[in-house]
Structure 1
Amino acid sequence: MTQARNRRADARRSRAAILDAAVRLLDTNPETGVEAIATAAGVTRQTVYAHFPSREHLLAAVVDQVTAEAVAAMDAADLDTGPAADALLRLLEAGRRTSGRYPVLLRKIASLPVDPKADQERHAPVTDRLKRVIRRGQETGEFDARLSIDWLVAVTVKLGHAASEEADAGRMSDEEAAQALHTSILRVIGAPTPTT
């Protein structure tokens, strides 16, 4: 029993080290190979493949890890307190800060083909939080309830991607893109737009 438990603990540590190395290296160079990731993680190539049968599996796990980090930041933003508009802006800012830590990696991942169902499942934790805040705003009358929550979530996600693309292309600064995103989303959901 103890040996089996130790093996599982070792496997968890190896997997975590591989993912940490992959996130770090792939954000520097999205074409980094499995050998370099294994070396940085302090494991063998075989160990990487034991956890992730292909580079695609490893990339999917990297996306899951970054998504989990974003969700943790969103949860730390205390989405259930204060005005819904403020909570929505805190949620968006938490997501922006997380994605801002991995610009190269996220651009590469966004360029890869992805199954729509898998992409929807992967982003479900983020969209669930968006739905929760938007629903609260509609129930309290802060947000216009004439548009469906699903539509408003979809628009929010698309506008978030557009803001990132504008900043990545250098057409807007990160701050300008964030401000444009906040203003646009608040207008779409029918919330008062801050004057500052």
Structure 2
Amino acid sequence: MSVPTKSPGDPGKTRRSHARANRARILDAAVTAFIADPDASMDDVARSAGVVRRTVYAHFPSREALVEGIADEASAALVAAMGDEAQQPDRPDLAVAVMALRTWPIGDRFRMLLSFARRELGEQRIHDLLGVVRDRDVRVVDHGQRSGVFSSYLSPTVLVALAESMTMTLLDQANSGEVQDSGESFAVAYLAVLGLTPADGARVVDEARHWLREHPDVPKS
């Protein structure tokens, strides 16, 4: 008696893969739509994604859920961009510059969160979003203070909080076109908050760009 052979492929796996692809397409379309118009509707997002309205609602049952999905996507992208902590430079000033250059493109892509997610999700959600990198920043700044590289006029936690507020300001300025580089201004400003002169900060940022070129296996964005 012959044993029935299993048909190749896994229909369930295929459906899950298709659903993930649709979800990613919808999120990308939503980012684009909300950058163009913060009041874009779910229908606008569906048209931009090339799917029917029902597909959007299958993944995100409300506009708030869609905005939350974008925030979650931004959080995951930040984690991916940071890479493995063990792979960061040992020198704290260089580590800060590398982290700034890695994460700026993520903030730049999702900067429309500043224009409407604050209103729809609240300031606390934005604060929580940055929490995925905050602990590492605090550790690096603490190391820099203990080694004499960074100023100690404020605690590491307060300095990182200042840098986060500055990040919001710079992303707002990117929205208006005043900041147009790839994170160099952000990195120099961050290092200035930590006590480096702008000239020294610019030199460290140049080193960071070289370091990233030498470590292509480490995610940049």
Query: Which AA in structure 1 matches 2:98?
Result: R
2:108–2:174 CA contact under 8 A, matched in 1: no
Indicate yes or no: 2:117 matched with 1:74. Answer: no
Bigger relative CO (Cα 8 Å, ≥ 6 apart): 2
Alpha-carbon distance in structure 1 between the residues aligned to 2:18 and 2:33? 22
Alpha-carbon distance in structure 1 between the residues aligned to 2:106 and 2:66? 20
When normalised by structure 2's length, the TM-score is 0.69
> 1:145, CA displacement in angstroms?
4.5
Give 5+ residue unaligned stretches, structure 2: 1-9, 203-221
1:77–1:91 CA contact under 8 A, matched in 2: no
Match of 1:156 in 2: 163
Match of 2:54 in 1: 46
Match of 2:195 in 1: 190
Alpha-carbon distance in structure 2 between the residues aligned to 1:167 and 1:80? 27
Match of 1:141 in 2: 148
The structure with more radius of gyration: 2
> 1:157, CA displacement in angstroms?
0.6
When normalised by structure 1's length, the TM-score is 0.76
2:67–2:117 CA contact under 8 A, matched in 1: no
Match of 1:25 in 2: 33
Deviations 1:175-196 (A, max 9, x none): 5x954x5555434423465345
1:163–1:178 CA contact under 8 A, matched in 2: no
Match of 1:126 in 2: 133
Identity among equivalent pairs (%): 30
Give 5+ residue unaligned stretches, structure 1: none
1:15–1:51 CA contact under 8 A, matched in 2: yes
Change (3 A) 1:4 1:101: closer
Change (3 A) 1:75 1:132: farther
Match of 2:23 in 1: 15
Match of 2:93 in 1: 85
> 1:115, CA displacement in angstroms?
3.7
Q: 1:94 aligns with which of 95, 102, 111?
A: 102
Change (3 A) 1:36 1:187: closer
Match of 2:68 in 1: 60
**CA RMSD, 1 decimal:** 3.3
